[in-house]
């Protein structure tokens, strides 16, 4: 039996139409709930504040995999309903489908995988995609290869490229499931990694649809890394309806304090490995010695290293005003989801270990033009600049001889004398963002 839930005060219903699951409290270990799913009750565990559930059974069952002395599987939080309880909001807004569309989930799934859509189909997909909103505090997730993790630990605390809301991917925990999400996949790996952080503003992220990036769907397989970008704003997948995001202009976004690098084991267990401490500008190891095999899979992470110092990037960052002068700033949203105060922009003054609130926060990055093409400056070395295409397409790929660094990201070193119109772009953050 399929389940349709009408959102309160809205003419939308959930786009993920699935078999009903009823949840009640239980003290069974290792679960914290009992779930009735497809006519059977299972011990269950709540994940990511309700974004996903882990189901357990002592007997083999279709879709369940061995786990210690039982079997388990993961399901998305929207597959769980509580008909006898008051409406409880999810940590983020689920995809919603207009009830007047007369479109079921299978049809919608197929439409999100098509490059060429009719005008009505394109409008429907765009309307559904627009319901996946990023807000202040939204937990974002970027799957990473082991090599990408190594670079993250040794470079500025920023993130760029294609990413997802944790809410939409919380049920995809097995490494083989996360291969489709990866921008630089480790093919056949039994461990997967990801970077997780809080979004500061909706303006920092854009959908990966053809309206925003018209040239990306036209890049052939040998000109890209990772999966095809379909152009509908959704992950290419025959089974999952996952909205994709890219950082605006493919620019670097400063990470919020408390950002994490996590690993997923072959059993789907999530293990926090490192946490970014803005006070000291370091990545601090969180995983104990029992997770040495996860830590050892990261290139350059030899021995028992517990701390990585990172330097700020002069080409992108976050600044604000304190006592009439501009200072480096960070967004400190606390540890958790949607549980923080309005004053989230702070700085650490010399000699102080406690944060100081700042005013007029703004994110900045540097754009430039190289051979007539818009680029973002991401690095420099002597007289050379590392440039990233703002709008990747086949013509610029061929003419500029750029390299596919990861999914959607194309870069090239260029002599600074060839780069013109360098200018900083400022994105102002209102201190009372909601």
Mean pLDDT throughout 133-156?
94
Mean pLDDT throughout 236-248?
94
Average pLDDT, the chain: 85
pLDDT of residue 337 exceeding 50, the answer is no
DSSP label of 166: H
Q: How confident is the model at residue 30 (pLDDT cuts 50, 70, 90)?
A: low
pLDDT of residue 280 exceeding 70, the answer is yes
Q: Which segment of 47-56, 85-94, 273-282, 400-409 scores lowest on mean pLDDT?
A: 85-94
Mean pLDDT throughout 410-425?
97
Contacts of residue 421, defined as CB under 8 A and 6 or more positions apart, other chains included, come to 367, 368, 369
Mean pLDDT throughout 227-242?
93
pLDDT of residue 23 exceeding 50, the answer is no
Phi, psi (deg, nearest 5) at residue 12: -130, 155
pLDDT of the residue at 89: 62
Q: Tell me the per-residue pLDDT of 183-231, one tens digit each, with 9 for 90 and over.
A: 888 887 889 999 999 999 999 999 999 999 999 999 988 899 999 999 9
pLDDT of the residue at 278: 87
Percent of all residues in the chain with a pLDDT value above 70, rounded to a whole number: 86
Buried b / exposed e along 342-365 (16+ C-beta atoms within 10 A): eebbbbbeeeeeebebbeebbbbb
Buried b / exposed e along 279-305 (16+ C-beta atoms within 10 A): eebbbebebeeebeebbebbeebeeee
DSSP label of 313: P
Mean pLDDT throughout 264-274?
94
More confident of the two residues 9 and 136: 136
pLDDT of residue 253 exceeding 90, the answer is yes
Mean pLDDT throughout 270-292?
93
Q: How confident is the model at residue 338 (pLDDT cuts 50, 70, 90)?
A: very low
More confident of the two residues 120 and 432: 120
Q: How confident is the model at residue 233 (pLDDT cuts 50, 70, 90)?
A: very high
pLDDT of the residue at 354: 80
- Kindly list the distances between the CA atom of residue 207 and the CA atoms of 128, 161, 214, 232, 242, in Å, as whole numbers in the listed order: 12, 11, 12, 8, 11
More confident of the two residues 344 and 235: 235
pLDDT of residue 329 exceeding 90, the answer is yes
Q: Which residues pair with 261 in a beta bridge?
A: 195, 274
pLDDT of the residue at 433: 42
- Pairing of the two strands 359-370 and 316-322: antiparallel
Residue 342 host element (H or E): none
C-alpha to C-alpha distance for 298 and 148, rounded to whole angstroms: 9
pLDDT of the residue at 53: 86
More confident of the two residues 48 and 152: 152
Q: How confident is the model at residue 334 (pLDDT cuts 50, 70, 90)?
A: low
CA dihedral sign of residues 69, 75, 79, 85: positive
Mean pLDDT throughout 248-260?
96
pLDDT of residue 366 exceeding 90, the answer is yes
Q: Which segment of 11-25, 41-55, 147-161, 382-396 scores lowest on mean pLDDT?
A: 11-25
pLDDT of the residue at 343: 54
Mean pLDDT throughout 292-320?
90
- Alpha helix (H) residue ranges in 261-375: 292-296
Most confident of 81-90, 120-129, 386-395: 386-395
pLDDT of residue 344 exceeding 90, the answer is no
C-alpha to C-alpha distance for 196 and 260, rounded to whole angstroms: 5
pLDDT of the residue at 326: 94
pLDDT of the residue at 29: 43
Mean pLDDT throughout 355-361?
90
């Amino acid at each position: 039996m399929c389940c349709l839930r009408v959102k309160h005060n809205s003419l939308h219903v959930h786009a993920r139409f699935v078999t009903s699951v009823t949840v009640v409290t239980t003290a069974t270990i290792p679960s914290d709930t009992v779930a009735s799913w497809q006519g059977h009750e299972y011990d269950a565990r709540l994940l990511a504040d309700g974004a996903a559930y882990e189901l357990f059974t002592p007997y083999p069952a279709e879709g369940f995999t061995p786990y210690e002395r039982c079997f388990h599987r993961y399901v998305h939080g929207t597959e769980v309903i509580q008909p006898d309880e008051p409406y409880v909001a999810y940590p983020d807004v689920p995809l919603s489908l207009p009830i007047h569309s007369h479109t079921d989930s299978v049809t919608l799934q197929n439409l999100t995988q098509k490059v060429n859509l009719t005008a009505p189909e394109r409008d429907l997909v765009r309307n559904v995609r627009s319901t996946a909103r990023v807000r202040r505090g939204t937990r974002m997730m970027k799957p990473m290869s082991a090599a990408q993790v190594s670079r993250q630990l040794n470079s500025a605390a920023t993130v760029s490229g294609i990413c997802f809301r944790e809410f939409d991917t919380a049920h995809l925990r097995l490494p083989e499931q996360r291969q489709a999400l990866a921008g630089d996949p480790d093919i056949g790996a039994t461990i997967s990694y990801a970077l997780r952080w809080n979004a500061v503003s909706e303006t920092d992220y854009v959908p990966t649809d053809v309206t925003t990036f018209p040239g990306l769907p036209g890049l052939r397989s040998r000109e890209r890394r990772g999966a095809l970008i379909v152009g509908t704003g959704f992950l290419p997948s025959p089974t999952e309806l996952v909205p994709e995001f890219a950082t605006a202009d493919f620019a670097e976004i400063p990470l919020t304090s408390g950002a994490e690098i996590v690993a997923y084991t072959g059993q789907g267990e999530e293990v926090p490995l490192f946490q970014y401490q803005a006070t000291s500008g370091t990545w601090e190891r969180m995983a104990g010695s029992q997770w040495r095999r996860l830590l050892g899979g990261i290139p350059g992470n030899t021995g028992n290293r517990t701390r990585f110092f990172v330097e700020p990037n002069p080409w992108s960052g976050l600044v604000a005003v304190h006592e009439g002068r501009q200072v480096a700033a960070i967004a400190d949203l606390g540890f958790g989801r949607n549980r923080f105060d309005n004053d989230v922009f702070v700085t650490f003054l010399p000699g102080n270990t406690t944060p100081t609130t700042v005013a007029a926060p703004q994110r900045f990055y540097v754009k430039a033009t190289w051979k007539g093409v818009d680029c973002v400056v991401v690095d420099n070395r002597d007289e050379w600049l590392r440039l990233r295409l703002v709008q990747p397409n086949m013509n610029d790929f061929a003419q500029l001889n750029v390299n596919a660094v990861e999914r959607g990201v194309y870069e090239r070193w260029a002599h600074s004398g060839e780069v013109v119109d360098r200018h900083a772009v400022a994105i102002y953050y209102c201190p009372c963002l909601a």
